[in-house]
Structure 1
Amino acid sequence: MILDERSYAIWPQYVKDYLHIYETEGMALQVSHLGDLIGWFTTDTGIVNEVVHIWRYADAGDRERRRAAMEADPRWLEFRAKTSHFVQSMRSRILRPTSFSPLR
């Protein structure tokens, strides 16, 4: 199992707009492709205009197949076109649980 942690710095004036469009138009579509959503968060300290989401995959191949299918979906491309101007920067990290992690 791996976790894909994705962080997006959103232009401060657009955080509410981004969250609204994601919740109403993007979330169901993304979950239909990626599957196991662990959580979706906003930050309360530090970079306060950041959103973070974490997805669970069986392995790197599972992640690659699911993300490729999503990127090929015209509905996802339409959603991204609506929201890409809200995003300042993006970071993605792959996390692997330790043998003693409660989340495995």
Structure 2
Amino acid sequence: MIYDLRTYTCRPGTIKKHMKLYEDHGWKVQSKHLGYPVVYGAVETGDVNSYVHVWMYEDAADRAAKRQKLQADPEWKEYLAKSAEAGYLVSQENKILVAAPFFDPIHEKKGEG
């Protein structure tokens, strides 16, 4: 498994507007192509103008294939245009993470501890 950790920063005072724009125009199409994220949330401490989402993929090829389909979807292109027009985002940082060898995100420990 790999994880795509994405951190976006909005102009001060616009994060709620941006999240609403995404909820209304981006969430459905993005989750249709990428699946349900591991995490999608606003930052509570530190840079409170930021939000983070983490997507899980089988490997780099799975990520590339899913993201290619997303980028080709006219509904996603429409959302990106609306987002650019709104101008709420000021930066984006992406990191690809690999799980530690002892971490299994699919199975929970049962009866241990």
TM-score (ref. length: structure 2)? 0.86
Q: CA deviation at 1:102?
A: 4.2
- The aligned amino acid for 2:14 is Y
- Unpaired segments of 5 or more residues in structure 1? none
In the alignment, which residue of structure 2 is the partner of 1:89?
Answer: 91
**RMSD across aligned positions (CA):** 1.2
Distance in 2, Cα, partners of 1:37 & 1:81: 22
- Unpaired segments of 5 or more residues in structure 2? 107-113
Distance in 2, Cα, partners of 1:36 & 1:56: 9
- The aligned amino acid for 1:95 is L
- The aligned amino acid for 1:27 is W
4+ residue segments displaced more than 4 Å = none
In the alignment, which residue of structure 1 is the partner of 2:54?
Answer: 54
Q: Which one has a larger percent helix, Structure 1 or Structure 2? A: 1
Q: Which structure would you say has the larger Rg?
A: 2
Aligned residues: 104
Aligned-pair identity (%): 37
Is 36-45 or 50-59 further displaced after alignment? 36-45
In the alignment, which residue of structure 2 is the partner of 1:31?
Answer: 31
- The aligned amino acid for 2:55 is W
Is 51-60 or 12-21 further displaced after alignment? 12-21
- The aligned amino acid for 1:100 is F
- The aligned amino acid for 1:41 is G
In the alignment, which residue of structure 2 is the partner of 1:80?
Answer: 80
Contact 1:36 1:57 in 2 (8 A): no
Distance in 1, Cα, partners of 2:13 & 2:71: 27
TM-score (ref. length: structure 1)? 0.93
- In the TM superposition, what whole-angstrom CA distance separates every residue of 1:30-81 from its partner, at most 9, and x where no partner exists? 0001114111011111111001000000100000011011111111011011
Distance in 2, Cα, partners of 1:17 & 1:48: 14
